Structure 1
Amino acid sequence: MIEIERKFLVRNDSFKKEAFAKNHIAQGYLSSVPERTVRVRIKGEKGFLTIKGASNDSGLSRFEWEKEIPVSEAKSLLLLCEKGVIDKTRFEIKKGNHVFEVDEFYNDNEGLIVAEIELYSENDTFEKPDWLGKEVTGDIRYYNAYLSKNPFKNW
């Protein structure tokens, strides 16, 4: 499956009152090389194993494969991950025909809030809420795999 998404910084926390879902996420990387990241995630009460390929030239699209796994297995795999487990809360906000996923980061990435929107095509249009800030699509500093090794607090 090809994932098409755009990524933005968030201006303030007014998005929280618009959220229809909120989940704590802990995630780590078994491999964080850009050509193939292998991620382990616990989101709420579910575990996931995800493999992502490198982004295309525009930074909008890349291959993604994801499978749900038992939380107990995800917890065990997190112990094998590279240093720098990501800790965040994800808020989901519906705008028009799309859903924004807004991640508020903690610990070493405290103060960073990033919104992502998955699109149907690279030319898909969408409603931009007033809390949406600067676009950072394709900027590797805002990839979770990068943040796990180069946390926001060190920028």
Structure 2
Amino acid sequence: MIEIERKFLVISDIFKKEAFKKSRIIQGFLNSHKKRTVRVRLKDDIGFLTVKGKSSKDGLSRFEWEKEITKQEAEALLQLCESGIIDKIRYEVTIKNHIFEVDEFFGDNQGLVIAEVELEHEKDTFEKPNWLGEEVTGNIKYYNSQLSKKPFKSWEQ
């Protein structure tokens, strides 16, 4: 139940040709406190309720619990969420032994593309595809819970 991941900006759309899966995700937050978040997600036609704890100091790991719920339950819970619903397409790309999840954001976060890779251990190594840019692991402004409050379009460019 500990999630270990690294997060990167994406600098080209080559990943789209390499993706083996693509899903639309709509998500909102019932609670977006910095010590814990409670997220409702609709991924295509499947709902999820997720609780995440506070990140470690380096931003690499945190507690995560997730439960599948029905589409109808997710749609109802999305109506109760804080303002700032996240809308994105997630592409899944295999690079050697790792799967990169690449999120292309829409709406108020249009123009932002972020890749995450989940790891077994904090010291795990992985091959970086050439479409990865700057690492933003631990930078709270790139967390979905923060993007729902202060979206990418509001950042000073």
* Bin for the TM-score computed over the shorter chain: over 0.9
TM-score with structure 2 setting the length: 0.98
Q: Distance in 1 between matches of 2:34 and 2:20?
A: 32
- RMSD over aligned Cα, in angstroms? 0.4
The one-letter code of the counterpart of 1:132 is L
TM-score (structure 1 length as normaliser)? 0.99
Taking the aligned partners of 1:72 and 1:87, their CA distance within structure 2 comes to 18
What's the secondary structure of 1:116's corresponding residue? strand
Q: Supply the distance in 1 between the matched residues of 2:34 and 2:21 (Cα, whole angstroms).
A: 30
Where do 4+ consecutive residues of structure 1 move more than 3 Å? none
Using the alignment, how far apart are the partners of 1:125 and 1:54 within structure 2? 24
For residues 34-113 of structure 1, the aligned pairs below 5 Å read 34-113=34-113
- Following superposition, the deviation at residue 45 of structure 1 comes to 1.3
Q: CA deviation digits over 1:23-49, x for unaligned, max 9?
A: 000000000001110000000110000
One-letter amino acid matched to 2:67: K
Find the residue that maps to 1:145 and give its secondary structure.
helix
Instruction: Give SS of 1:149's match.
Output: coil
Aligned partners of 1:71 and 1:33: how far apart in 2?
25
Q: In the TM superposition, what whole-angstrom CA distance separates every residue of 1:33-83 from its partner, at most 9, and x where no partner exists? A: 011100000001100000000001111000000000001000000000000
| Structure 1, unpaired ranges of 5+ | none
Q: Give unpaired runs (5+ residues) of structure 2.
A: none
Q: How many corresponding residue pairs?
A: 155
**How far apart, CA to CA, are the structure 1 residues paired with 2:14 and 2:77?**
35
